[in-house]
Each structure stands twice: as C-alpha cells, then as structure tokens.
Amino acid sequence: MSDAASYSVRDGIAVITMNNPPVNGLGSVLRPGIMDGIKKAGADPAVKALVIIGSVKAFSGGADIREFNTPKMNVLPSLPEINDAQDACPKPMIAAIGGFALGGGLELALGCHYRVALPKSLLGLPEVKLGLLPGSGGTQRLPRVVGAAQAVQMMTTGNPIPAEKALQLGLVDEIVQGDLLEGAIAFAKKAQAPKRIRDMTVKVDGDPKQFFEKARAEVGKAARGFPAPLEIVACVEAAVGKPFDEGRKEERQRFAKLVEGNESKALRHMFFAERQTTKIPDVPEDTKAREIKSAAVIGAGTMGGGIAMNFANAGIPVTIMDMTQEAVDKGVAKIKANYASTVSKGRLKQEAMDKCMALIKPVTTLEAGKDADIVIEAVFERMDVKKDMFRKLDAVMKPGAILATNTSTLDVNEIANVTKRPQDVIGTHFFSPANVMRLLEVVRGAKTANDVLATTMKLGKTIKKVPVVSGVCDGFIGNRMVEKYGQQSLFLLDEGCSPQQVDAAAYKWGMAMGPLAMGDMAGLDIGWEIRKRRTIERPDFIYSKVGDKIAELGRYGQKTGKGWYKYNLPDRKPIPDPEVEKIIADYRKEKNIQTRQISDEEIVERLIYALVNEAAYILEEGIALRASDIDMVYLTGYGFPAYRGGPMFYADTVGLKNVLNSILKFQAGYQGAVWKPAPLLVKLANEGRKFND
Ligand code: NAD
C-alpha cells in the first residue's frame, strides 16, 4: 500500500487510514491506496467490515488542489471508480469523519455505507463556489440521504453543515464522543449489512414538479446568470426522477459542461489568484518578517475603528488614539455597537466579543502606543495633517516599528520622506467597512524595506484580508480604476440613461451594485472633493459636471437621505427620484447634449472596459505586480462578480481584440477623447494574447 493510505485489521475490522497532509486531498498518491484497501478488505474472509478514516482534523478536503491542471489528476483510479468499488463491496463500510469532509471528501464518505463523525466535524459539498457541481455522485447520493430540499440548499450554497445537523438529517449515523477510531470500530462491529445509498429513493416535500419549479425560481433569482446552482437543481431533479446510473450520467454531462464554461474557469482563476498575491518577485519568500505582537491605530473615525477591530479579532492587542477623550470614546462606542450587533444576530458569542473589547485600549496620546510593533494612521485625508502625524510618529515610535498610513489617495513617498526611517513606512489601504471588506492594498513606497513589505503582507493574512501589493500612484490600483468607471457612468447619464438604467444593467451583469448606488453608499461628497482637486491638479481632466450639480444641493447619498436616489432612512433601498431626473435633464439642456437610447450591453461595455483600459496602464507601469492581482482587488474590494473572474480575466474571456475594437468605437462617440487605449492592451490584442497568460 502507499504511504498515503495505510491498512490494518483489528478484531475483524479493516481500517484504511488516509495520510495525505494537510487536508487528505484525494490526490494521485491517495486514491490508489484507498482502492487497494477496499479490495483487500472485500477479499479477506477474516474481515467483517471496514472503516475509512483520516485525521482528527481532516477526513478529506476533496480533490488535491496541488494537482489541478496536472496529469496527476487523471491517475487511476478516479474517485468515481472508488465509489463503484464502495458500492460493490459486500461488507459494511464506515466513514469516520474527523474535522471535515468536503467536496470529493464527502463524496467518498457518501460512497461508504455508514458515517460517524466527531461533534465538531463539518460536512459539505462546496463545488458551487468554484462554479462546479459535485461530480462524483454527490448530486445523486446526497439527496437520497437528506431529501431534495436540504440537498439543494447544501449544494447551491456550498456551505458545510455541522455534525449535529448532519445527524438530524441522517447524513451522519452517529456522533462519536470519545476517540474517533474506537467509536468507528465499535460502530462497524454492530453494522450488519451494507446500506448502499444508490439503492435508496429521494424524499421530496409535496409534488416534485412544483418543488422543482419553485427551487429553480428561487435558486435562479439568487444566481443571476451564474449557471452552476441551476445545474445542481437539475441534477437533484434527475436523482428524483431517474434511476441512479442515469442520474450519474446526467451529473457527469452537466459537470463537464460547467468545467468548460467561463464561470467555473473564472472562479478557479480567483482561487489561484488569491494564493498568488503574497508572492513578490523581488522579495524572497524566506524574507524574515518582523514580529507583530501589538498594534496602534491613530484616528478613531470610520476607518480607525474598523481597523482596530481587525487586530482584536486576530487576538492582537491594539491601542486606538484620537485627539480628545470624547472622540476616542465615540469611536470605541461604535466598535462596541458593531460587535453587539453581530452578537445579537447570533454570529458571535458574548465571550468572544468581551475578549475582543478587552484587547482594544482607548488612548489620547501617541506615547501610549509607542511600543506597538505597527502603527496605522487613519486621520483626516490631508497631506499637511498626515505629514505632521508622521513626524510625530517618527519621534515617538520604538525603533523597528512599522509606520503605516491608511491614505486612499495621497503620495506615500512624500509621507515617508518626512521621517528619518522611510524604509519602515508603508501604505495599508483598508476598504470600508474595514472590519468587513477583505481587500487590503499594501502600498509599497520607493524606500519601503523588503522585510516591512513581507511583514505587512503576512499581517494582512493574519487579520484575514486579501493583501495585494500596489505601487504609489493616485488612487493606487482600485480607486484609480474606479475613477474611469465613475466617469463613464456620468457620461451615460449625460447621453440619455437614467441612474436606475445604468445601475440595473451593471447589477444584472453581476456587479454587487451599480456605480450610482455605490456612489450614494460611499458618499457623493467624497468624489466631489476629489473632482475639485483633480481640476486643479490635472486641468485636462474631463468629467461630466452632472455629479457636481447633485452634490451642490447637499445630496451626498445615503448619509443625507438623498443622492442619485432618495431613501426612506434607515431603509437603504434606493428609490428613483424625479428631482434627479430633472437635474439631469436640465444639465443636458444646458450643455446641449443630444440624447439617445443606450443598450444595456453598451452600458456594461463602457463601464467594464473603462476599468480594463486603466488596469492595462496600471499593469504596464508596474503599479500592480500581475493581472491577477488587479482581479483580486476588484473581486474583494469592489463587488465584481466572482464568476466573471475580475476585470482582466473577463477581458481575456471576451478577447482583447474585441475589447480594443469596442474602445476604438467609443472613441468616436460622446466624450470619446477620454478613451485612450493602453499600449499594453493594444500590444496584447495585436499579438492575440491575454492579460492572464
Ligand atoms: P474620519 O473623519 O471618520 O476619521 C478620522 C479621525 O481621525 C477622526 O476621529 C479625527 O478626530 C481623527 N484625527 C484627525 N487628526 C488627528 C490627529 N492629529 N490625531 C489623532 N486623531 C486625529 O475619517 P475616515 O473615513 O476614517 O478616514 C481616515 C483615513 O482613511 C483617511 O486617510 C481616508 O482617506 C482613509 N480611507 C477612508 C475610507 C472611507 O471609506 N472612509 C476608505 C479607505 C481609506
């Protein structure tokens, strides 16, 4: 037998132990071992039953991701072949589930005749998260055990369920309180005969036709064009209406279709892109990181509070400082309310909240945080204020501390250069709400030391962010691109669209929300301030003044109850507002703009290609390290639909030549002068290449 799967026999019970760390991925070394064990146990008259077990931490996490896209994936036996052998085995087979059984791991467990689990184990089929469906019988076996409704729920969300729930549903036959192997062997001794899931029928609540109509409507609405969830519903329907082998065949066909589709490719791209962001070509992986055992945050406003929560959540003590006791108290009260709301929703235990609050220390002097290993400044967005603060931090903070700024637009080099230790200065650009949003742009200054960068990237992971390196430029990666997106959204209004038409087209395409609703959420005063600055800094900056007309009326978005929409606060649902229509119509008249009907397709192309073109400049300038980093910025910070893989991946799927041709067409249209195709885009398009080559 292979090292990855050991075989032993105890009291007439064969035990196959999977040992393929870290998650017992069902890779090319493990599959043959499992198969051998099943065959051996089946053939040995001294064996009465068999147990398949992993470690206490992991039964199996499913396919071995290290073998994705390699020939090893095709090494025989395949998981379906193992499942067939499980079905054919004449002796009861028990899966002993410690930790988790996910994806192919749960399909292996479903191939067993019984399942026992530890109280804390999790069971799930998360394939939908990669745009796929469980392809080794999962869609046929799970419904036979838990019923159609639960199976649809589990497989279309991809969320795992705890052992206790699995027990109620019959997915687990027994929860083992003590030693897992002992419990599994005891269970195996009692098990009389194999109970094959393939021989069972699926329970459906009510009339199957009505059930699936309803399921399709519900799942389809939530999926918004993303195909995998509906394919899963179809497979469950096959499990109900067709014999097992036919259902399996249908599952295989639908799986193959999804694997080839752009959506699944996009999600797999995202999966790998996330693992790439911390790889920095000129910073060796073994660069010794500095130790971060404590942190300090300066400014207890919107961002400072959220940033402090990240540290507390990770168990890192943090001081939070503001100018007055009142300001810091207000900030801490907000943090407390934030945690309390999570507790009230049952998503956090009171003790966990108390622990976090105990780690956050409100202070009113910089000295109080001087021993912190990292300080993150989140004060007002003004260069003079930031410089003043960094001079003070330079004087106060202990040697070796990392001095970070949360600026969203200012020049990190200019800030670093007021200190005597620019090598220790870095940008950490969190996104609002900072305790929720996963993106962290890590801004590398010209003099930032390698170990400071490596430490900050590592810290980003520790506080559960997706850290992406950005060079210094106005807006860094994300906001620099979003400016072009916002610019197009306003030009579309000029030309005849309503805010709701633009937003609906973007939403339908998959964005979490449209650009104008997003503006209302972020605050229209912020963009207005930036535009005022831009007109001074970049006199050639072209933009529609229609946004200013809205902001000038004090319509700052959700915070004032009016923006591009009106709001019945505290309800944040945008309501179309005839006043806005009039402002836009007046503006068109004032500028003598000819309006026209604009298709949803054109709206989406103009918005998304504006992002793509700016991203190409960013990539070419070396502001982003790689195209997939830009994708991660948009996927984790800007509500870009995961199944489209990010702007660069999406452009690749459309074909860069097609993207370029559209841009050239837009050049001839309204405000066409803003469309300057990035040289990198032109080059790659002409060479028939991709951004993510
Ligand atoms: P905010 O106005 O909510 O909070 C700023 C806080 O800093 C205030 O509590 C203020 O009292 C305090 N402060 C100002 N000067 C200080 C000083 N000298 N010493 C101590 N405290 C001081 O602002 P915010 O929205 O939290 O933004 C803070 C920073 O984060 C800015 O640089 C901003 O550009 C950046 N940022 C904001 C967002 C966002 O969406 N709000 C997103 C990313 C980055």
Is residue 672 within 6 Å of ligand 1 at its C-beta? no
Reported as a single tens digit per residue, the pLDDT across 457-495 is 999 999 999 999 999 999 999 999 999 999 999 999 999
Is any ligand 1 atom within 6 A of the Cβ of residue 407? yes
State which ligand 1 atom lies nearest to the alpha carbon of 331: 9
Atom 39 (ligand 1) nearest CA:
432
Residue 320 near ligand 1, beta carbon < 6 Å: no
pLDDT for the residue numbered 445: 98
For the Cβ of 523 lying below 6 angstroms from any atom of ligand 1, the answer is no
Which of 380, 443, 476 to mutate to test ligand 1, by most ligand atoms within 8 A of the CB atom?
A: 380
* 559 Cβ closer than 6 Å to some ligand 1 atom: no
310 alpha carbon – ligand 1 mean position (Å): 16
What angle is formed at CA 239 by the lines to CA 229 and CA 85, rounded to 5 degrees?
Answer: 105
Q: How much distance in Å is there from the Cα of 303 to the middle of ligand 1?
A: 6
Whether 127 sits among the annotated catalytic residues: the reply is yes
Closest CA to 507 of 630, 611, 607: 607
297, 319, 322, best to mutate for ligand 1 pocket (most atoms within 8 Å of CB): 322
| CA dist., res. 97 & res. 91, Å (int) | 19
- Return the residue whose CA atom lies nearest to atom 25 of ligand 1: 302
Query: For ligand 1, atom 31, which residue shows the shortest CA distance?
Result: 381
Q: Which atom of ligand 1 is nearest to the CA of 305?
A: 26
**In the predicted model, is pLDDT for residue 370 greater than 90?**
yes
Q: Whose CA is nearest to atom 15 of ligand 1?
A: 379
Express each pLDDT in 163-188 by its tens digit: 999 999 999 999 999 999 999 999 99
* Ligand 1 neighbourhood includes 385 CB (under 6 angstroms): yes
Among 297, 334, 365, 408, say which to mutate for ligand 1: greatest number of ligand atoms within 8 Å of CB.
408
In the 8-state DSSP scheme, what is residue 458?
Answer: H
Establish whether residue 323 lines the binding site of ligand 1, counting it when its CB lies within 6 angstroms of any ligand atom: yes
**Is there an atom of ligand 1 within 6 Å of 610 CB?**
no
Average pLDDT on 139-155 reads 98
Ligand 1 centroid, distance to 29 Cα (angstroms): 53
| Arithmetic mean of pLDDT, 97-117 | 98
Q: Which of 67, 81, 127, 218 is catalytic?
A: 127
| pLDDT tier, 693 (very low <50, low <70, confident <90, very high otherwise) | confident
Looking at the predicted structure, is the pLDDT value of residue 50 above 70? yes
Residue 434 Cβ < 6 Å to ligand 1? no
* Res. 555: pLDDT tops 80: yes
* Mean pLDDT along residues 54-66: 92
Do 401 and 388 form a contact (C-beta atoms < 8 A)? no
Q: What is the pLDDT of residue 70?
A: 84
pLDDT of residue 124 exceeding 80, the answer is yes
Q: Say if residues 40 and 14 touch (Cβ distance below 8 Å).
A: yes
Query: What's the average model confidence in pLDDT over 270-288?
Result: 95
Name the catalytic one among 107, 251, 495, 614.
107
Q: Does residue 98 line the site of ligand 1, with CB under 6 A?
A: no
Q: What is the largest CA-CA distance in the chain?
A: 92
Q: Is the CB of 478 under 6 A from ligand 1?
A: no
* pLDDT tens digit sequence for 286-300: 999 999 999 999 999
Rounded to the nearest angstrom, the distance between the alpha carbon of 298 and the centre of ligand 1 is 8
How high is the pLDDT of residue 186? 97
Q: Is the Cα torsion angle 327, 333, 336, 340 positive or negative in sign?
A: negative
Encoded tokens for 272: 């790998």
The rounded Å distance from CA 118 to ligand 1 centre is 47
- Amino acid 1: pLDDT: 53
Closest ligand 1 atom to residue 377 Cα is 29
d(C-alpha 515, C-alpha 513), whole Å? 7
Query: Which DSSP helix (H) or strand (E) runs through 51?
Result: strand 49-53
Hey, is 55 helix, strand or coil?
Answer: coil
DSSP string, 221-266: HHHTT-SHHHHHHHHHHHHHHS-HHHHHHHHHHHHHHHHHSHHHHH
- Per-chain mean pLDDT for the chain: 96
SS3 345: coil
> Lowest mean pLDDT: which of 12-26, 66-80, 434-448?
66-80
pLDDT digits (tens, 9 = 90+) for 434-456: 999 999 999 999 999 999 999 99
The pLDDT, as a whole number, for residue 479 is 95
State the distance from the centre of ligand 1 to the C-alpha of 26, rounded, in angstroms.
48
Q: What is the pLDDT of residue 226?
A: 84
DSSP classification of residue 449: -
Residue 94 is predicted with a pLDDT of 98
Percent of the chain with pLDDT over 70: 100
Contacts of 227 (CB under 8 A, 6+ apart): 131, 258, 261, 263
Q: Which atom of ligand 1 is nearest to the CA of 303?
A: 26
H-helix or E-strand containing 327? helix 325-344
Q: Is the CB of 380 under 6 A from ligand 1?
A: yes
Question: How big is the CA angle at 248 (ends 242 and 249), to the nearest 5 degrees?
Answer: 95
Q: Please work out whether the CB of residue 15 comes within 6 Å of at least one atom of ligand 1.
A: no
Confidence of residue 65 (pLDDT cuts 50, 70, 90): confident
- Assess contact for 140 and 247: CB atoms under 8 A: yes
Report which of 676, 257, 224, 289 is spatially closest to residue 461, judged by C-alpha positions: 289
The burial of 458, by beta-carbon neighbours within 10 Å (0-12 exposed, 13-18 middle, 19 or more buried), is given as middle
pLDDT tens by residue, 232-247? 999 999 999 999 999 9
| Nearest residue to 136 via CA among 171, 105, 88, 104 | 104
Shortest-distance atom of ligand 1 to CA 388:
18
- Give 585-618 pLDDT, tens digit per residue: 999 999 999 999 999 999 999 999 999 999 999 9
CB 236 within 8 A of CB 138: no
Residue whose CB lies within 8 A of the most ligand 1 atoms, among 366, 379, 476, for a mutation test: 379
